[in-house]
Amino acid sequence: MNIKESITSIQTSIKAYYEANKKRVQQIGLVAIAIIGGAVYWFQFYMPGQEKEAEVKFAKLWHYFKSDSLDVVLKGDKVNKIMSAVEIADKYSMTAKGKEASLMAGLSYLKKGEYKKALDYLDNFNAGDAILGPSAIAAKAACYSGLGDLSKSADLYEKAAKLGENEYTSAYYQKAAVHYELTKDYASALSCYETLESKYSATREGQEAEKYIYRLKGLMGELNK
């Protein structure tokens, strides 16, 4: 059989299959078109519209968050048509500003001492974000500290410091060290202070690290060796 005969045979087989399964093939085609059309609408029209809406509502709320008007942040203001961070986080959960609203709600609940509610919203924020991630993780650490889970808090403070790895987040090493020491994990506390001293000596925490290192080594018995 030559190439031309092979192509003709294939075409004949396809035609025969289509005639025998015409209804099923048409249904599959319609479903495929619907899926593609839905995806195009979702990514090209719906999500950009949601992002825009969330951005506008979030911007109106930002002033209240910065001025510590926590009741407005968490409950909104119907008179002035201000949507709360909780509502933005829930309604626009798939948008970037919706995620930031989760962080805002979490931080606000933290300031009010409502640690469990704070964690619910902080968990919805992408803690891998290079800019806001360290703050979100540190906020979770503060919540666990408030709830009495000092070991979990210490681990999260150290994680926040490592994620940021800069002078602004280096203070989290000190907070991690304090919590490690409270749980009597002196080795981990010492490691955090040594990181501060070696990598962030220009910061206030780095300059204070030496005295804590000396004290911890005393507690661990290393000064007598």
Q: How confident is the model at residue 12 (pLDDT cuts 50, 70, 90)?
A: low
Asked if pLDDT for residue 172 goes beyond 70, the answer is: yes
Q: If we measure between CA atoms, which residue out of 183, 184, 176, 142 comes closest to residue 159?
A: 176
Domain boundary assignment for the chain: 150-225
Burial of 74-91, coded b for 16+ CB within 10 Å and e otherwise, reads: bebbeeeebbbbbbbbeb
Q: If we measure between CA atoms, which residue out of 167, 109, 159, 98 comes closest to residue 133?
A: 159
pLDDT, tens only, 32-44? 555 565 555 445 5
pTM of the model: 0.76
pLDDT, tens only, 45-68? 445 667 888 898 999 999 999 999
Q: If we measure between CA atoms, which residue out of 175, 177, 159, 158 comes closest to residue 215?
A: 177
Report helix, strand or coil for 82: strand
